[in-house]
Homo-oligomer: A and B are copies of this chain.
Amino acid sequence: MQTPTDSAPPTSRRPGRPRGSVAANREVTRDRILDAATELFAAQGFHGTSVAEISARADIKTGALYHHIKSKEELLWEILRGYTGKALAAATAVTSGAGGPVDKLGALIDVHVEVITDHWREVAIQTRDASALNAEHGVQLQALRQGVQDCWEQVIRECWPDKRESEVRIVASGLLGMVNSLWYWYRPERGDTPEEIAKNFRDVVIGGVG
């Protein structure tokens, strides 16, 4: 978020209105549009949601909405790259940090559960409607997702050094599937906490039975 700065030439300001507030307002509005689109896409699908519905939910005129986004597809892309970028940043922080492989596997579970429970609507949209992205965005999203998978594979390779590469990929896909499928059954209001979910996933994956 931009903040007012004293170095701005006074001529560029409207009286009584600090420079930067236009940009800040723009960002607030844009976030409101993204939130509205996320709720609607998750509830009724990308194809089942019109730009007019998004405008209405964001409390903005449809014409004004197009000052903020170019298309419904751009909204989808912003939503999907937003949470996937967070997942990649969190996983990369774990793999590039200190600690042994078992600690890192536990930390990957913790941070990924946190991202997915924070963004279960976005994951629902990804699962159902990622195919509505244009080709370029589809490739970019796949690269972000592969980045997350690479982090998991790197740690899994160290945790289970006897596994072949095809097995490392199977385990990574399975564990990411375990966490990602939270979108299907996790709802904050039902009382499960991200901490309790992560603890139980760690118990099973790291501890096994008994």
- Interface on A for B, CB 8 Å cutoff? 47-48, 101-102, 105, 127-128, 159-160, 163, 166-167, 170-171, 173-182, 184-185, 191-192, 196-197, 200-201, 203-210
Chain B residues, CB < 8 A from A163: 200
Chain B residues, CB < 8 A from A48: 47
Kindly state the separation between the CA atoms of A179 and B185 in the bound complex, as whole angstroms.
Answer: 15
Interface of A is mostly: helix
Name which residue of chain B comes closest to A182, CB basis. B177
B47–A200 contact, CB under 8 A?
Answer: no
B208–A205 contact, CB under 8 A?
Answer: yes
A196: which of B105, B170, B178, B204 is its contact (CB, 8 Å)?
Answer: B170
B185–A173 contact, CB under 8 A?
Answer: yes
Name which residue of chain B comes closest to A201, CB basis. B174
B203–A204 contact, CB under 8 A?
Answer: no
A181–B177 contact, CB under 8 A?
Answer: yes
Given contacts A166-B192, A205-B204, contact A178 B185 (CB under 8 A): no
Name which residue of chain B comes closest to A174, CB basis. B178
Which of the listed residues A180, A181, A196 has the most CB atoms from chain B within 10 Å of its own CB?
Answer: A181
A192–B170 contact, CB under 8 A?
Answer: yes
A209–B206 contact, CB under 8 A?
Answer: yes
Pairs A–B under 8 Å by Cβ, sample size 10: A127-B128, A127-B184, A159-B210, A170-B192, A171-B200, A171-B201, A177-B179, A204-B205, A205-B209, A208-B209
